[in-house]
Structure 1
Amino acid sequence: MLTEDKKITTSQTVVIVSNCILGSGILTLPRVLADSMKTSDGWISIILGGILIMLAGLCIVRLSQRFPGKTLYQFSRELMGKWCGSIFSILIATFYIFIAAFELRVMFEVTTLYLLEDIPRWAIIMSFIWVGLYIIKGGLGAIARLYEIILPSTVVVFVFSMILSGKIFEVDNLLPVLGDGIFPVIKGVSSTILVFLGHELMFTLTASMQHPEKAGKAVIIGISIPLFLNLVAFVMVIGGMSVHGVISSTWPTVDLLRSFEITGLFFERFDFFLLVIWIMQILTTFSILQYNSSLGFAQTFKTRMRPFMFCSMPIILFIALIPRDVNELFMVSKIFGDIGVVIFVILPPLLLVYAKIFKKGAVR
């Protein structure tokens, strides 16, 4: 169990959850929603998806609070039995490795397309893996302090960039509201939920909080920040490029900022600043995923984390190099996204009900 001085504050918990959610999804969400819905009502799906994730996050918090001071990897054996709990923990830790590799591959694709051309794939990905290792070696407290610096910078740069894109914004591109009815909105919710995965960190963060009773508040605020930013991104991207224009773009959020210039300012193009800050953001997402994976294996096998940190590095590199192109990358991410929805959105309420019925953990 962590000592009080090594535990994280409520605000640090908020920052970690927000940073994890704010990965690569915001760069592609407008295209994914526009392609699946064929309407401009994706902003409604984003709100509904965010609310569902908040409810799932609260279920995770309530379940974790029944086992004070323990992470999912520790109380899963008490909740599900020794063997089932251990297998479940290993599956969760393995799942984090795959998602971490996906985030790095997205980072590589965006970097080589807009910033660093003709750089070997392995060189860029391996460099970020080493940086990620350096971050997580300091423990959860060091991770939280770094994230407290990166998140405000991300929000300021992103909001400022979106405000500047108002130069080409046309409200007609967002009309009519519900022109095709409610069914496209419902269809878009599933795609939206995938982007908000990251709330499941509360399975491990709750045990590390100074005030675990405030975990519910932390997860709500932690989800609200990326919910707001994704909502702004969708509205501005669709308003600036239209539904048909967004569908034909791989990275519409970046392409929006490349589609206009602001004359008279010291800088006329702002896509570079967004890319730089978002590479940092993807790095934070990757590092906390690798940390949770290493923590999961270490607590499952009751050993130290450091060997798993190093062992996961070549595995992540290998997985990140598997997709041959962007299409395969998105196809694989969709599969693992659906798995994540089942594990972290559908399963937590069921586990909470099970724990209450069979009186697993502390009675709350």
Structure 2
Amino acid sequence: MGRDGGQLTTLDFIALISSTMLGVGLVVLPRTITAKVGTPDGWLVLVIDGLLFFVVIYVLLQILKKHNVKNYFDYTQEGFGKKLGKLVNLIMVVYFIGVASFEVVAMSEMVRFFLLAETPVELIILTFILTSAYLINSNLKVIARVCVFFFPITIAVILLIYAFGLQIVDIKNVQPILGQGIMPVVKGMNTVMLSFFGIELLLILKGFTSKDTKLMKGAFVGFAVPLLLYILTYVLVVGGVTVQEVTTVTWPTISFVQSFEVKGIFIERLESFLLITWILQFFTTLTLYYFSAVTGLQSVFRNGYKPNIYILIPIIFLLANWPKDTIEILKMSDMLGWIFPFVLLAIPILNFLLVAIKRRVKAR
């Protein structure tokens, strides 16, 4: 079965969480927050929301620990009952498929726009889905090894590019702090959902860990690394491009990298280098959501692991071809953003209460 192949270490867990979070969010984050806040205080939104999410992570892991959850999909059926539990699991599977489709279409749009303008977008989408399916066909341990290998390389490349970009950053562009008060920050609190996609997968990944895996440390570090990178990205992009320009471009992080040149090295224009590296993060995010959808279907229908991989290929492909332009892609992310809190918080907490009541009744 695809679940086999070795249990996750703490390092695996960190790499999987971080790799899943670092998808589309990084390249659109400065625009989405700034458009809502209207001031250069978007980094405060990330700090406050990040602290709140640390609390959420702690609560979720305490829930899983208290009820000794080994398989989250089975745990859901224990709380909601067999039939309703399967329906809830199916809703989560649809969400996972939706995010996988969103990641692959956003990735293909970026590749088409910046790298392969003449290549049919359908071919790009299908190539990424099939490559992901091939990786999922092994097991989660293999996926974790891919993340452990590529994630440090991606972070190193991004930090190096950002270091070169410091030459155009003007700290005055992110000042004054709270110049218009706290209300713009409060108004922007709900804009980071897309950037925090991926943290909900700790509910699924926990079932693949061993007793030696330090879940709390893994989840906190796995979340903290992308959060710090998001804050750094926001400050640099707004500092280098200005608030007004950030709100007018689709991919502000890439626009920031395009704003400067580096003389004397083998590549002067760094955006292509960034894109090629960042495709790896899109790919790992797609793969982990794809994997979660496959294991979810396996739990709902009690069928084989591998058949679900092939069943989902055309479904993800069709959903990924639904948005016809960047505006529709962003609308798709907004739809998923509304479902995200239910998958992350509402369902787990309600299920915890139901299981607690049922177990207490049985114990009497």
TM-score above 0.5, yes or no: yes
> In 2, are the aligned partners of 1:72 and 1:203 still within 8 Å (CA)?
yes
Comparing 299-308 with 280-289, greater Cα deviation is found at 299-308
CA contact (8 A) 1:79 1:85 kept: yes
Cα distance per residue 1:61-100 (max 9 Å; x no partner): 2222244352221111111111221100011011111110
Q: Is the 8 A contact 1:10 1:211 kept in 2?
A: no
RMSD (CA atoms): 2.1
When structure 1 is superposed on structure 2, of 62-71 and 255-264 the one drifting more is 62-71
Quote the residue 2:314 is aligned against.
314
Query: Deviations 1:148-205 (Å, cap 9, x if unpaired)?
Result: 0111011101111111111100001000101111111122121113311211111111
* Structure 2: gaps of 5 or more residues: none
Structure 1 counterpart of 2:286, one-letter code: F
Maintained 8 Å contact 1:10/1:210: no
Alpha-carbon displacement from aligned partner over 1:94-126 (angstroms, at most 9, x marks no partner): 111111000001011111111111211110000
| TM-score for both structures, normalised by structure 1 | 0.94
Q: Deviation at 1:232?
A: 0.8
Identity of paired residues, percent?
Answer: 29
Label 1:179 to 1:3 Cα distance change in 2 as closer, same or farther (>3 A).
Answer: closer
After the TM superposition, list the runs of 4 or more consecutive aligned residues in structure 1 that deviate by more than 6 angstroms.
1-5, 360-363
Report how far residue 358 of structure 1 moved: 5.1
The equivalent residue for 1:65 is 65
Alpha-carbon distance in 1 for matches of 2:165, 2:121: 32
Q: Which residue is 1:332 aligned to?
A: 332
**Which residue pairs with 1:85 in the alignment?**
85
> Could you say which residue in structure 1 is the equivalent of 2:256?
256
Q: For 2:65, give the aligned amino acid.
A: Q
TM-score by length of 2: 0.94
Gap change, CA 1:125 and 1:4, over 3 Å in 2: closer
Map of 1:129-168 to 2, 5 A cutoff?
A: 129-168=129-168
Deviates more, 1:213-222 or 1:162-171: 213-222
Letter in 2 for 1:309: I
CA-CA distance at 1:49 after TM superposition: 1.6
Determine the C-alpha separation between the residues in 1 that align with 2:4 and 2:299.
Answer: 20
Question: Which residues in structure 2 correspond to 1:174-253 (within 5 Å)?
Answer: 174-211=174-211, 214-253=214-253
CA distance in structure 1 between the aligned counterparts of 2:79 and 2:204, rounded to whole angstroms: 15
Q: Deviations over 1:327-349 (max 9, x none)?
A: 01101210111211232134434
- 1:212/1:116 CA distance change after superposition, 3 Å: same
Letter in 1 for 2:210: Q
Structure 1 gaps of 5+ residues are none
Q: Paired residue for 2:103?
A: 103
CA distance in structure 2 between the aligned counterparts of 1:322 and 1:4, rounded to whole angstroms? 34
8 A Cα contact 2:170 2:240, kept in partner: yes
* CA deviation after TM superposition for structure 1 residue 266, in Å: 2.5
Q: Which string of whole-angstrom CA distances, capped at 9 and with x for unpartnered residues, describes residues 228-262 of structure 1? A: 11111100000000100100110000111111101
CA distance in 2, matches of 1:28, 1:305: 34
Counterpart Cα distance in 1 of 2:329 and 2:89: 26
* Residue 39 of structure 1: aligned partner: 39
Contact 1:65 1:212 in 2 (8 A): no
Separation of aligned partners in 2, 1:361 and 1:161: 58
Structure 2 CA distance for aligned equivalents of residues 74 and 288 of structure 1? 19
Aligned to 2:293: 293
Q: Is the 8 A contact 1:173 1:243 kept in 2?
A: yes
Structure 2: how far apart are the matches of 1:39 and 1:267?
A: 34
Partner SS, residue 323 of structure 1: coil
Provide the residue aligned with 1:17 in structure 2.
Answer: 17
Which AA in structure 1 matches 2:304? Answer: R
Q: Which residue of 1 aligns with 2:112?
A: 112
**Are residues 2 and 146 of structure 1, via their aligned partners in 2, closer, same or farther at CA, if it must alter by over 3 Å?**
closer
Partners in 2 of 1:177 and 1:3 — Cα distance? 48
C-alpha deviation, 1:218, in angstroms: 1.3
Answer whether contact 1:28 1:251 (CA < 8 A) is retained.
yes
The 1:41/1:99 distance shift into structure 2, 3 A limit, reads same
Q: Give me the whole-angstrom Cα distance separating, in 2, the residues matched to 1:180 and 1:345.
A: 32
Taking a change above 3 Å as real, the CA distance of residues 238 and 81 of structure 1, as seen in their structure-2 partners, is same
- How many residue pairs get aligned? The number is 363
Q: Which moved more, 1:97-106 or 1:178-187?
A: 178-187
**More displaced, 354-363 or 27-36?**
354-363
